[in-house]
Amino acid sequence: MTGYLGSYATLGLLLVASVLIFVGAFTANRLLSPADPAEPAGKRATYESGVDPVGGDWAQMQIRYYVYAYLYVLFAVEAVFLFPWAVIFDRPGFGATTVVEMAIFVAVLALGILYAWRKKILDWT
């Protein structure tokens, strides 16, 4: 197992071996397991210890919470960029261009809230 592709051959053998072991284990399971497994009471319950799970697993959430959470994330991320900018924007070499660029950035994000407002997402009822 030497040469440029030699170690790939080793890897290939390893993969083949692992697939064989995998297939072998499952085949052995299929062959050895009883054809008619026992079905004692409670075997298929969620908790075999006997505790009943309470309620269904399908709970509905009011969609508005999701939308608000989303809008919050939008502006939280905006703030992350605003803080470092606020520290340096008045240093020499930055100046007006920097302010305009940040204004554009904020405007683009504001676009999102504008859209949300026009689509009546901000109304709670």
Partner 1 sequence: MEQTIEYAHATGVLGSVWLLIAIPLVSSAVILLLGRRSAKFAHWLGTAAIGAGFVLTLIYFFSLRDQPNRAVERNLWEFISVGNLKVDIGLLFDPLSAVFCLLITGVGFLIHLYAVGYMAHDERRHTFFGYFNLFAAAMLLLVLGNNYVMLYLGWEGVGLASYLLISFWYTRPSAATAGKKAFLMNRVGDAGLVIAIFTMFAYLGSTNYADVFNGVGGLSSTVVLLMGLLLLLGATGKSGQFPLQAWLPDAMEGPTPVSALIHAATMVTAGVYLIARSNAIFSANEVLQTVVVSVGALTLLIGCIIGAAKDDIKRVLAWSTVSQIGYMFLGVGLGGGAYALAIIHLLAHGFFKANMFLGAGSVMHGMKDQVDIRRFGGLWKLMPWTFGTFTAGWLAIVGFPGFSGFFTKEPIIVAAFEREGWTAWLYGWAALLGAGLTAFYMTRLWVLTFLGPKRWTEDIEHPHESPPIMVGPLVLLAIGSAIAGGLMASPVAKWLEPPLPHEAGHPEPVMSHGVITTLSLVLTFAGIGLAYLLFRRGTALVEQPAGVVVTAARRNLYADAFNEIVFEKPGIFLTRALVFLDNRGIDGAVNGLAAAVGGGSGRLRRLQTGFVRSYAMSMMAGALVVVAAFVAVQMGWLS
Partner 2 sequence: MTIKFPDIDYAAIAPLLIMFGVAALGVLVEAFVPKRARHLTQLVLALAGLVAALVVLVTQAETRVVTAGGAIAVDGPALFLQGSIIVLAIMAVLLIGERSLEKGGPFVAQAAITVGSEDDRRQAARADGATEVYPLATFAIFGMMLFVSANDLLTMFIALEVLSLPLYLMCALARRRRLVSQEAALKYFMLGAYASAFFLFGVALVYGFTASVQAAPGRMAGGVDFATIHAAATQSPANRALLFGGLAMIAIGLLFKAAAAPFHVWTPDVYQGAPTAVTGFMAACTKVAAFGALLRVLYVAFDGARWDFTPVLGAIAILTMLVGAVLSVTQTDLKRLLAYSSIANAGYLLVGVLAGVREGISSTMFYLVAYGFTVIAAFAVVTLVRDADGEATHLSRWAGLGRRSPVFAGVFTFILLAFAGIPLTSGFISKFAVFGAALDGGQTWLVIAGVITSMVLAFPYLRVVVMMWLSEPGESTPTIAVPGALTAAALVIGVAATLVLGVAPAPLLNLSDTAGQFIR
Which residues within the stretch 84-113 sit at the binding site for partner 2 (CB under 8 A)? 88, 93-94, 98, 108, 111-112
User: Would you tell me the crossing angle of helices 95-118 and 63-88 to the nearest 10 degrees?
Assistant: 170
Cα–Cα distances in angstroms (integers) from residue 100 to residues 44, 86, 97, 113, in the given order: 64, 13, 5, 20
Q: Which x/- pattern, by CB under 8 A, does the window 46-75 give for partner 1?
A: ------------------------------
Query: Which of 2/33 has CB closer to partner 2?
Result: 2
15 contributes a contact to partner 2 by CB under 8 A: no
Give the span between the Cα atoms of 24 and 47, in whole angstroms. Answer: 31
C-alpha 114: how far from chain center: 27
Interacting residues toward partner 2 by CB under 8 A: 4-5, 8, 88, 93-94, 98, 108, 111-112, 114-115, 117-119
